[in-house]
Amino acid sequence: MPTWCPAPIASCTATALLTSSSLSRPFALDAMSGLWYPHASRAHTLAGVAFAASVRRRFLLWGSAGILMCLTLCVLARRSPETLNRWDQVLPIGPDWWRDTAPWLEGPLVWLSFAFGTVASIVGTAVVAGLLLAKRQNRAAIYVVLVVLGTSLVTSLLKRIVDLPRPVVEDPILQYASSAMPSGHASNIAAAATAACVLSAIYLRTRAGRRLVLVVGVLLALVVGLDRLMLGVHTLTEVAAGYALGVGVGLLSAYLFDPWCRQARPTATRRWRSQQN
């Protein structure tokens, strides 16, 4: 069992964001108007409240859809587990199908399980929030804490309510006593990736940088989900419910709580906002 757990994706992404100059200089001077704008082109949706109203409505729509999907799977797991069992047959789980041909995978899979677990999530959240506070990005720090800890709390509550037994596999590598629905690892990594994408949309200047954060987040989430399936500790629908919950909490938090720290030149910002309207 590894004794050290790296921080999840939010920690890595926030470190890159915090080392960039965009946090220390959250506004750029427009050469033509002489006004200061947040780092983003006017074609994008960054505004005086970080995101335009249309973007925030999409946050509300897709965030609510994610929460609804998670709750639907939880209700099915509680009332009609045989339905989920049929869906879960799409992908095999457990080590039986890969242990003989690739026994070397056991070590990395166990490492991933601990590296993106609850302890790593808490440590990563504390590191990211501390770095953001050091850069005086207080609202962004609060947003990260709300997303990650909120997701963990909701996941724990749903696990207690659903109380779905873990999948049964022969000769398991890891065993957990907690409920299976939804997957905590999947919800944690999805929440962290969503928070990283929201912050990158605020602080990264280039579209390529924001796309890179999105791609890395999606890939890490897929790797963590595949890890849960290959170890046999979760089924496909349990992982999907975790993904939906993490993304839903991340987007709804961005809708309800503006993560952008209004620091400088509020008069110019209001003038710019009025121009956009």
Q: What is the mean pLDDT of each run of 10 residues along the chain (277 residues)?
A: 42 44 41 37 44 86 94 92 86 82 86 85 89 88 92 93 85 81 92 92 86 93 91 90 95 89 49 51
Residue 273: per-residue pLDDT? 52
Residue 18: per-residue pLDDT? 44
Residue 274: per-residue pLDDT? 54
The burial class, CB within 10 Å (0-12 / 13-18 / 19+), for 31 is exposed
Of 61, 13, 77, 116, the residue nearest 251 (C-alpha)? 61
The burial class, CB within 10 Å (0-12 / 13-18 / 19+), for 3 is exposed
Residue 147 tokens read as 């997303």
Give the span between the Cα atoms of 242 and 219, in whole angstroms.
15
How many C-beta atoms lie closer than 10 Å to residue 121's C-beta?
A: 26
Give the span between the Cα atoms of 270 and 37, in whole angstroms.
10
135-168 burial, b for 16+ CB within 10 Å, e for fewer?
bebebbbbbbbbbbbbbbebbeebbeebebebbe
DSSP element (H, E) containing 271: helix 266-276
Residue 246: per-residue pLDDT? 94
Contact 180, 167 (CB under 8 A): yes
How many C-beta atoms lie closer than 10 Å to residue 275's C-beta?
A: 11
Residue 158: per-residue pLDDT? 94
